[in-house]
A and B are shown apart, each in its own frame.
Chain A
Amino acid sequence: MNNLLQINSTDVTVFVFAGIIVLALLFGFIMYFLFSYRHKQKDFQLLHDQKQQIDVQKIELEKTLRELKSTQAQLIQQEKMANLGELTAGVAHEIQNPLNFVNNFSEVSNELIEELKTERQKTESERSAGTENDIINDIEQNLQKINYHGKRAESIVKGMLQHSRANAGVKEPTDINKLADEYLRLSFHGLRAKDKSFNADFKTDFDESIGKINVIPQDIGRVLLNLFNNAFYTVNEKRKSASDSYLPTVLVQTKKLNSAIEIIVRDNGDGIPKKIIEKIFQPFFTTKPTGQGTGLGLSLSYDIIKAHSGEIKVESKEGEGTTFIIQLPIL
């Protein structure tokens, strides 16, 4: 080192100058980095805040959705119970018939047993084996009828219980004609029992070839009941204002198509105005006076038919009537 030459001032100047440039560059870099980072940090913060807001909104929406689902389930159950209320009179009427039979046949059977006892108290010469056998046969027939009508009442009660059940039913082969007929009668008698002035005619035209199809009977029953109730309601309303020549009529028809069956419910009521026909399947839409309809009947019917992969359509002419057509696939 001692042999080395002394450094000149130009070299030092160059070194200092280079040092200043490096220092300036590094400071510039750090300042730029800090500035751009701060800018990014603000963007990140904004994004972070927005994400947090979205998360909060998401939680609130999920909560609302849960509440909505719960409310929807409650409303569906309420609608079922309302239907059940409407059914009660019809059910009472339907049960009354078999009960009358049960009562009558059991009374007759009691009388026949008394007759049999009297016959058996007679002397051997007065007794007639033929008469005794006839009485026994009559009692046997009566008991069969009592049993038959008892089972009919039981099936009506079972149907009612199925209708009110909250949980989803299972699909089973169902005789649609029988189901439609049952619910048509229940609807008719129910309305009649509620309103003594109610008067309407109903006709059925069932296609016997449709056989049994796989549906949830209580759900399809609920749909049919809704349509029947609406049809009877509208014809009855029209009757109140129409001339005497007007015959309120509800027609229920079934048809077999290629891969589906069709249930047609036609009434000759006032029809549905064009401006509201698009809304009738919307939840809570009703034309009935406050307190008479929940506005969920057709909406639920629509959902039920869709859940069966079917279709429900409506055709209506103002002043002439309405036709609801349900198509259910044969699976």
Chain B
Amino acid sequence: MFRDFYHAFYYSLLIAATVLCILFFKNAQRPFRLLAVLVVLTLLSELTAKYVAYILHNNNMVYHFFTPVEFLFYVLIYQQFFSSKKWNYILWLCFAILVFSEIFNTIFFQPLNVDNTNILILESIFLVAFSLSLFIKISESEYHQHLLKEGIFWFNSAVLFYYAFNILIWGFHSIQVYNLKNPPMFIYNFILVFSGLLYAIYAFATGLNSIAVKKRRLNHE
């Protein structure tokens, strides 16, 4: 499992994030509970991918299935944050586009044994757009608490950073492959480091939310 530092870093952070998310799940609010489930599902998908790789020597198909599932969770989470009819419509439309694109992409461009980078880029574009929109919504709302103490800020910042870099990384990857060049190893290491940090921040955001909810509950009592 831990064949080098980057893998060890990624899996350690993912396992730690999963454990923390499970611990914080009880007190967290609904969007952060969904986030916690997403982290747990990510670990399960990674374990499944490892198993499939062991059996079939190619685990790309796992990501073909997991990407729409992951995006579904993001849609559900952003639906909670936006809580408006207009955004419900936009989010579900994006989800439908992504699922359709995944099928189309799998049939015509990137079959199950190839990385679904096209869909990863599409997912990243959607998520960056959601993240920026949520920042706009936050800036227009009347929050009184310090933003750095809010789980929503850390979650959304992590999405923005990670998926913006995802576009760059997978874009670069696609250009290299399109030009029949071998993508350098370091971009996979980048992905591992960023992914590990992403899930760690998700756990941190869930923890912040859980603590805030607990504090509010204690104050009410």
Q: Point out residues on A near B: beta carbons under 8 Å.
A: 1, 3-8, 11-12, 15, 18-19, 22-23, 26, 29-30, 33-34, 36-38, 40-41, 44-45, 48
Q: Is the CB of B181 within 8 A of A5?
A: yes
Q: Is the CB of B142 within 8 A of A6?
A: no
Q: Is the CB of B181 within 8 A of A11?
A: yes
Interface of A: prevailing SS? helix
Q: Is the CB of B139 within 8 A of A37?
A: yes
Question: Which residues of chain A are near B184, meaning CB under 8 Å?
Answer: 7, 12
Checking A4, A18, A37, A40 against B177 with a beta-carbon cut-off of 8 angstroms, the contacting residue is: A4
In the bound complex, what is the Cα–Cα distance between A18 and B70 (angstroms)? 27
Interface of B: prevailing SS? helix
Contacts of B167-194 to chain A: CB distance below 8 A: 168, 172, 176-177, 179-184, 186-187
Q: Is the CB of B168 within 8 A of A7?
A: no
Question: Which residues of chain B are near A7, meaning CB under 8 Å?
Answer: 176, 181-184
Report the interface size for chain B: residues with CB under 8 A from the other chain.
Answer: 26
In the bound complex, what is the Cα–Cα distance between A11 and B184 (angstroms)? 10
Q: A4-B177, A11-B176, A19-B168 are in contact. Are A34 and B182 (CB under 8 A)?
A: no
Determine whether B82 belongs to the interface, using a CB cutoff of 8 Å to chain A.
no
Q: Is the CB of B182 within 8 A of A37?
A: no
In the bound complex, what is the Cα–Cα distance between A40 and B182 (angstroms)? 49
Question: Which residues of chain B are near A48, meaning CB under 8 Å?
Answer: 144
Closest 6 CB pairs of A and B: A4-B182, A5-B181, A15-B172, A7-B184, A7-B181, A44-B142
Q: Point out residues on B near A: beta carbons under 8 Å.
A: 135, 138-139, 142-144, 146-148, 157, 160-161, 164-165, 168, 172, 176-177, 179-184, 186-187
Q: Is the CB of A36 within 8 A of B139?
A: yes
13 cross-chain CB contacts under 8 A:
A4-B182, A5-B182, A19-B165, A22-B168, A26-B164, A29-B135, A34-B147, A34-B148, A37-B138, A37-B147, A40-B139, A44-B143, A44-B144
Q: Is the CB of A22 within 8 A of B176?
A: no
Question: Which residues of chain B are near A34, meaning CB under 8 Å?
Answer: 147-148
Closest to A48 in B: B144
Q: Is the CB of B182 within 8 A of A45?
A: no
Question: Which residues of chain B are near A38, meaning CB under 8 Å?
Answer: 147
Checking B143, B147, B168 against A18 with a beta-carbon cut-off of 8 angstroms, the contacting residue is: B168
In the bound complex, what is the Cα–Cα distance between A142 and B33 (angstroms)? 100
B117 nearest CB across to chain A (Å): 13
Checking A4, A8, A22, A40 against B165 with a beta-carbon cut-off of 8 angstroms, the contacting residue is: A22
Question: Which residues of chain B are near A30, meaning CB under 8 Å?
Answer: 157, 160
Closest to B190 in A: A19
